[in-house]
Amino acid sequence: MILIYAESPDGQLKKVALEAVTYGAKLASAMGTTCAALTIGTVADAGSLGKYGAGKVYNIAGEDVDNQNIAKAVADVAEKIGAEVVVMPFTSTGKSIQGRVAAILNAGVVSGVSALPDLSNGFVVRKPVFSGKAFADTKITSEKKVLSLMGNAIPLEELGAAVDVETIDIDLAPCKVKRLSVEKQAGGIPLPEAELVVSGGRGLKGPENWNVLLELAEALGASTACSRPVADMDWRPHHEHVGQTGIAIRPNLYIAMGISGAIQHLAGVNNSKTIVVINKDPEAPFFKAADYGVVGDLFEVVPKLTEAVKRLKA
């Protein structure tokens, strides 16, 4: 049995939670077993997890959660249904609970996995390491296993039909960490989940010039990112900072403008499927990591690109 923790902040299932269900379903079929998804609290449309491959969907009532009581609940359910593998998204929540769940279950854990395990010689699973500069195929030898899945690592697939949600009777322990409030960012898909990303560097010269980037992002429906100096100078909010010391992303399309392509920047973005680089310096290192390149002044090139995107969409 495989258990997937389908994280649902604010009662909404995350895309990477759906991906984790598809991943769990495929792993279950490779292992000759079935998979179940677990949700906690009131979740809109939890039964739809069946469509992405969950044979069963369990729910635990209770809204008051912190990483300690979630981890305990996930581990309890894993014990109850006899799960050999627990899968969860590698998100801010996953990072808070994966170690706890593994500790409770006495399970080997690999975080941020990017592919299905190879079962031909034990249980070997691939994850990016050295901030995307390499991959590590990691063998888990314990009986129970915990995996957390990177966003956008596997495509979502409809593998079944919606199922009824079963309530599972587990009491959540009182929270020791209290949530006071959440400050939501305005608009846009959160970067780790975004399939299209437009990113700007110091070449934009100042925050007042960001419109040229934002207009392209809007035409594409893309999320926005930036290089580290841009966030350090407060030209853009720091949650947009991608790279080795920012967040690592792997969108389908990453468009970089006015970014030189320093090794620390590349580390966070080089797993993107397609990379477009716009830079006026033909020697910029980023071109070596790019699929498509435009050598030119971004202030001239990008508005033309925005117009061309609009023509495609029209």
Partner 1 sequence: MKLLVCISQTPDTTANISFKDNNTAFNPDGVQFIMNPYDEWYALVRALELKEAVGQGTVTILNVGPATNDVVIRKGLAIGADDAVRIDTEATSANYVAKQIAEYAKDKGYDAIFFGKETIDFNGAIVPSMVAEYLDLPFVSLAQHMDVNGNTATLKRDIEGGVEVLSVDFPFVLSAAKGLAEQRIPNMKGIMMSRRKPLNVVAAVDVPNTVEVVHFETPPAKSAVKLIDPDNMDELVNLLHNEAKVI
Ligand X SMILES: Cc1cc2nc3c(=O)[nH]c(=O)nc-3n(C[C@H](O)[C@H](O)[C@H](O)COP(=O)(O)OP(=O)(O)OC[C@H]3O[C@@H](n4cnc5c(N)ncnc54)[C@H](O)[C@@H]3O)c2cc1C
Report the interface residues with ligand X, using CB under 6 A: 201-203, 227-230, 243-246, 258-260, 262, 264-265, 268, 278-281, 284, 297-299
Residue 233 interacts with partner 1 (CB under 8 A)?
Answer: no
Q: Tell me the closest approach of the beta carbon of residue 38 to partner 1, in angstroms.
A: 18
Residue 44 interacts with partner 1 (CB under 8 A)?
Answer: no
DSSP H or E stretch at residue 59: strand 56-60
Residues 265-304 touching partner 1, rule: CB under 8 A, are 267, 270-271, 273-274, 276-277, 287-297, 300-301, 304
Q: Tell me the closest approach of the beta carbon of residue 206 to ligand X, in angstroms.
A: 11
Question: Among 30, 44, 92, 166, which residue interacts with partner 1 (rule: CB under 8 A)?
Answer: 92
Residue type (1 letter), 78: A
Q: Tell me the closest approach of the beta carbon of residue 58 to partner 1, in angstroms.
A: 22
CA distance 271 to 250: 5
φ, ψ for residue 56 (rounded to 5)? -135, 150
Residue 133 interacts with partner 1 (CB under 8 A)?
Answer: yes
Closer residue to ligand X, CB minimum distance, 172 or 225: 225
Question: 250 Cβ partners below 8 Å, 6+ apart?
Answer: 114, 150, 151, 152, 153, 271, 272, 273
CA distance 48 to 162: 5
Q: Tell me the closest approach of the beta carbon of residue 86 to ligand X, in angstroms.
A: 30
Q: Tell me the closest approach of the beta carbon of residue 160 to partner 1, in angstroms.
A: 26
Residue 198 interacts with partner 1 (CB under 8 A)?
Answer: no
How big is the chain by its Cα radius of gyration, in Å? 21
Residue 307 interacts with partner 1 (CB under 8 A)?
Answer: yes
Burial 74-96, CB ≥16 within 10 A → b, else e: bbbbbeebebbbbbbbbbebbee
Q: Which two tokens stand for residue 70?
A: 């979630």
